[in-house]
């Protein structure tokens, strides 16, 4: 009895907000469910955080219609059969968004000669894209090192781009250029042979039709056993060379780098080893990379997914004011990963609303933000197409959901116009 009272009390705010809309929406749940997939993410939910957590009984980061039964959120109504049939369908969601950073992974054979089939995760990605309103998805190999098993290569992804023209574009270098950089880190030197191999690899990637170099990394934390720690100075000679190549070929660089302004201890939630106990500063080196060639457009990815607590609005403003060739891609973690964000540097408050200091930042640099959800889309089991099984599932929905809180002009720029210009995509 007490539990039900608390649930009802938690949603007094929701009912007040939605009462004016009851004539046009079946329930507050329907009104919040912007993509019509029959469940609410934390970013879609418009109520107290404690109410969301209480209803999310299976702790998957979503509240389904069934989980909300018996609360004012669903008005006492039960899910109709038609709701479940429409789950994951796009409905009337217009396809306008360009999502600049995601990954497809689909292993189909084992042994030492492993191969990857991207047809299945591509279909899953298209379902997610259609539901969220994403027209074009930029996919790429994850950043890999010289000890990586199960390498993911650009050539594995290219057939997806060919099969679904206008829906996917591809970046390259995470499984090749990034490996070369890591090899030189291991060797402790950069040879003329390394430079020639680096240039030739970049030229080959351009010839194959990439729209950018990525995902590169200067500081990549290990989150689990098969998720390697990688580090390279952002002003490493081959990163500087990559800036020159990016300017020459007129494509941007997509770079993953945790923010470390000064020497600091590894955050307690991360394990050492493989991560180092003490983290070395990288912002000064990053500024040297940005200043090396102003014609190189560099995208610092995962703004909002901050593992050090140092990627603040203040640091972002400082760097963007000083370096006109610096762009940022925004990531709002969804699903299981949403629980691991650093709240102080997360763009949303505890109620799911965009923080005003972030909104002000977006207004200051309206032409230099894009979205990059960083959802890793796995091959579904068997012939199932029931969505993504990776812990990052929901990140596309959550990141695109942020756009709904922006004014119209800013939403267009961040949602698709900036990315279309930056990656030379067809309008």
Domain ranges of the chain: 2-80, 97-422
For 324, the token pair is 């006109």
- In angstroms, the Cα distances linking 310 to 47, 305, 306 are 28, 11, 7
Task: Calculate the CA dihedral of residues 15, 18, 20, 24 and round it to 10 degrees.
Answer: -130
- Phi and psi (nearest 5°) for 30? -60, -40
Instruction: Give the residue with greater pLDDT, 202 vs 66.
Output: 202
* Banded model confidence at residue 19, pLDDT cuts 50, 70, 90: very low
Per-residue confidence (pLDDT) for residue 107, from 0 to 100? 64
Per-residue confidence (pLDDT) for residue 31, from 0 to 100? 72
Per-residue confidence (pLDDT) for residue 119, from 0 to 100? 85
Q: Which fold has domain 2-80?
A: Recoverin; domain 1 (1.10.238)
Interatomic CA distance for residues 342 and 336, integer angstroms? 14
Query: pTM for this one?
Result: 0.79
97-422 is classed CATH 3.40.50.1980: no
Interatomic CA distance for residues 106 and 33, integer angstroms? 29
Per-residue confidence (pLDDT) for residue 223, from 0 to 100? 81
18-27, 118-127, 243-252, 342-351: which range is least confident on average? 18-27
60-74, 187-201, 227-241: which range is least confident on average? 60-74
Per-residue pLDDT tens over the stretch 269-291: 899 999 999 999 999 999 999 99
Per-residue confidence (pLDDT) for residue 92, from 0 to 100? 61
Interatomic CA distance for residues 104 and 336, integer angstroms? 18
Instruction: Give the residue with greater pLDDT, 73 vs 284.
Output: 284
* Banded model confidence at residue 85, pLDDT cuts 50, 70, 90: very low
pLDDT at residue 1 greater than cutoff 50: no
Q: Examine domains 2-80 and 97-422 and report if their fold is the same.
A: no
pLDDT at residue 130 greater than cutoff 80: yes
- Phi and psi (nearest 5°) for 273? -70, 170
- Write down the mean pLDDT value for the chain: 84
Where are the alpha helices (H) located in 92-214, listed in sequence order? 119-132, 154-163, 177-187, 192-207
Per-residue pLDDT tens over the stretch 355-394: 999 999 999 999 999 999 999 998 665 544 457 778 888 8
* Banded model confidence at residue 244, pLDDT cuts 50, 70, 90: very high
């Amino acid at each position: 009895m007490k539990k039900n009272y608390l649930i009802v009390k938690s949603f007094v705010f929701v009912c007040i907000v939605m009462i004016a809309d009851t004539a046009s929406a079946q329930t507050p749940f329907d009104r919040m469910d912007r993509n019509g997939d029959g469940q609410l993410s934390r970013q879609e939910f418009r109520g107290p955080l404690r109410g969301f957590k209480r209803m999310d009984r299976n702790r998957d980061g979503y509240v389904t219609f069934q989980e909300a039964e018996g609360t004012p959120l669903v008005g006492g109504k039960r899910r109709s059969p038609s709701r479940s049939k429409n789950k994951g369908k796009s409905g009337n969601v217009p396809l306008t968004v360009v999502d600049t950073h995601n990954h497809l992974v689909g292993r189909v054979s084992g042994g030492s000669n492993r191969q990857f089939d991207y047809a299945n995760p591509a279909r899953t990605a298209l379902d997610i894209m259609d539901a969220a309103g994403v027209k074009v998805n930029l996919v790429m190999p994850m950043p890999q090192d010289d000890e990586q098993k199960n390498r993911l290569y650009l050539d594995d992804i290219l057939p997806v781009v060919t099969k679904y023209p206008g829906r996917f574009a591809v970046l390259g270098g995470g499984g090749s250029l990034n490996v070369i950089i890591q090899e030189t880190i291991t060797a402790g030197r950069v040879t003329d042979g390394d430079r020639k191999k680096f240039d030739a690899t970049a030229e080959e990637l351009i010839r194959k039709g990439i729209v950018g170099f990525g995902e590169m990394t200067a500081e990549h934390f290990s989150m689990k056993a098969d998720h390697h720690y990688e580090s390279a100075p952002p002003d490493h000679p081959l990163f500087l060379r990559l800036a020159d190549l990016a300017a020459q070929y007129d494509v941007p660089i997509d770079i993953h780098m945790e923010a470390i302004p000064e020497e600091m201890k590894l955050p307690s939630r991360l394990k050492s080893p493989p991560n180092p106990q003490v983290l070395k500063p990288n912002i000064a080196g990053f500024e040297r990379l940005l200043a090396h060639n102003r014609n190189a457009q560099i995208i610092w990815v995962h703004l909002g997914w901050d593992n050090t607590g140092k990627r603040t609005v203040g640091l972002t403003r400082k760097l963007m004011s000083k370096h006109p060739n610096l762009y940022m891609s925004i990531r709002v973690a969804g699903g299981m990963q949403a629980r691991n964000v650093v709240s102080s540097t997360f763009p949303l408050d505890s109620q799911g609303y965009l923080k005003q200091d972030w909104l002000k930042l977006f207004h200051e640099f309206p032409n230099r933000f894009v979205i990059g959800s960083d959802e890793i889309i796995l091959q579904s089991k068997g012939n199932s197409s029931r969505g993504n099984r990776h812990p990052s599932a929901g990140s596309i929905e959550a990141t695109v959901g942020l756009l709904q809180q922006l004014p119209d002009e800013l939403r267009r720029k961040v949602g698709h116009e900036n990315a279309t210009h930056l990656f030379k995509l067809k309008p």
